[in-house]
A and B are shown apart, each in its own frame.
Chain A
Amino acid sequence: MPAPVERKALSEELNQLRENMETIATLSVQAIERAVAGLDSPDTGVVGDVGALDREVYGLKERIVRNCVETIALHAPVAKDLRTITVALEVTTDLDRIGRYAKDIAESAHELHREGDGRESLPKLREMGNLTVGMIRTAVNAYLAGDATSVSHIHSDDDAVDQFHDDLFQAIIDGMARRTITPRTGAECILINRYLERLSDHAVNIGEWVVYLVSGERPMRLPRRQTGMPGTPAPPG
């Protein structure tokens, strides 16, 4: 093999991208950790903190997208270089959604704590939140390490979160029917329940992009889960 060429300009762009990805990943993981921790007890600081993190994530996302487009335009990357950039764009979108859901959860939790009822749902939501946060951490670490081995469980974790979601949804409806929780509380709980379920989908996405980054194999997207409410018939097919 002849002497290696560094491609200094492209390498510099890719190093910068790597730094930005580390930062945006850290910020959005912090956002969701803080938001889920806020389910435990009233803490007026959470909404502001998570909102600030979400704004940072969004700003960084805009910068990453712009830089990636420039790198494609200037360097016409191929093979692993190309996958590094397309995967960064995809993962950035997922991380941005994670930041946004973190903010939504913080706000809903704040409302819940103000209402003061419906405490029975909180431990379950918290448990589900821990699972979701764990999935996100696993996927993000796998991405930053460029190692797909640790994401092999992510689909079964996602199934567990989906089960949580369906059970909890039913429990909240029942609580509302029995009037042990107010409609307002019930609505917030249903929202958090749904945000967590969606968050775990984003963790799965990131995990699948890591597989593609490492192997070049495009994710075999399963058909979207039938997310019809429990009790409604699944669409045909």
Chain B
Amino acid sequence: MSGDKVVVEHLNAWYGKTHAVQDISLSFPDKQATAIIGPSGCGKSTFIRCLNRIHETQPKARAEGKVLLDGDDVYQADPTEIRRKIGMVFQRPNVFPTMSIYGNVAAGLKLHGGYSRDEIDTLVIESLKKSALWDEVKEKLDQSALQLSGGQQQRLCIARALAVQPEVLLMDEPASALDPISTARIEDLIFDLKNQVPVIIVTHNMQQAARVADRTAFLYLGKLVEIAPTRDLFERPAEKLTESYITGRFG
């Protein structure tokens, strides 16, 4: 047993003929945030979408290789169950516009089923507290989620992801559409959350990777170039390509 929560072995992913992820092997330990950086189109989103089997839901998309969650092969399990265990937060807060604040957080629980009303109440409140939104919304849980600011909406989506008690949290550029204060709030949240679940965050903001992640992986043209403790990667990257990218010397 390696002690790693998620282990990825020789992962490959395609969209039709586009080979978007090429033979990536990586593991993610518990209680750590890992950032995935790299230029646009290098396969960051595709990579994390393979971890919870969202990738395969797109047309012509397929994946090969192994993803292990606590040693069990994700691709041998029920995909719906995997998507509950490995939660995901997207770049644009995807709130459900017709639902209340409460309804948005409860949505995942209702989707997966098997929760009593009381359980749902408890989990909604807990998740809103964990996502640091509770104090701002506790008086208006039944109001529309659309009245919330962008940053609040994103924290609402994080609450929804947390409500189903995931074992891993994936975040795809969760702060790239947010102002600096909202961004800082999300980063603080990641800092707290990683002690409960491993967080894997895709970001094109290098300073954000430096601020939130214990380890950083650099992807380029679908391949893993380097993964290292964040402190080492930004002070003395091992690979020339990483050096050029993080110093902003190529576009």
Q: What B residues does A80 contact at CB under 8 A?
A: 243, 247
Q: How many residues of A contact B (CB 8 A)?
A: 19
8 Å CB contact of B234 from A2, A4, A6, A79: A79
Within 8 A of A (CB), among B224-251: 234-237, 241-244, 246-251
A82 on interface, CB distance cutoff 8 Å: yes
* Residue among B234, B237, B241, B249 making CB contact with A7, cutoff 8 Å: B249
A220 part of interface (Cβ distance < 8 Å): no
Report, as a range, how many residues of chain B touch the other chain. 10 to 19
Max chain A Cβ within 10 angstroms of own Cβ: one of B241, B248, B250, B251: B248
Bound Cα distance A215, B237 (Å)? 10
Chain A residues positioned under 8 Å from B247 (CB to CB): 7, 77-81
Determine chain A's interface SS by DSSP, over half rule: loop
A7 near B248: Cβ-Cβ < 8 Å: yes
A145 within 8 A of B: no
Partner of B251, one of A2, A78, A215, A217: A2
Contact A1 B250 (CB under 8 A): yes
Q: Are A216 and B251 closer than 8 Å at their CB atoms? A: no
Complex Cα distance, B207 from A10, in Å, reads: 16
* Alpha-carbon distance A80/B243, docked complex (angstroms): 8
Whether A78 and B235, one on each chain, are in contact in the complex, defined by CB atoms closer than 8 angstroms, is yes
* Residue in B closest to A3 when the chains form the complex, CB atoms: B251
User: Complex Cα distance A79/B210, Å?
Assistant: 12
B206 located at the interface, meaning its Cβ lies under 8 Å from any Cβ of chain A in the complex: yes
Contacts of B235 in A (CB 8 A): 78-79, 82-83, 216
Count chain B CB atoms within 10 A of each CB in A6, A7, A79 and give the residue with the most. A79
8 Å CB contacts to A: which residues of B198-237?
206-207, 210, 234-237
A215 to B235, CA, bound (A): 11
Q: Which residues of B contact A7 (CB under 8 A)?
A: 247-249
A residues adjacent to B (C-beta < 8 A):
1-7, 10, 76-83, 215-217
| Ranked 8 nearest A-B pairs via Cβ | A216-B236, A78-B234, A2-B250, A79-B243, A78-B246, A5-B251, A79-B247, A7-B248
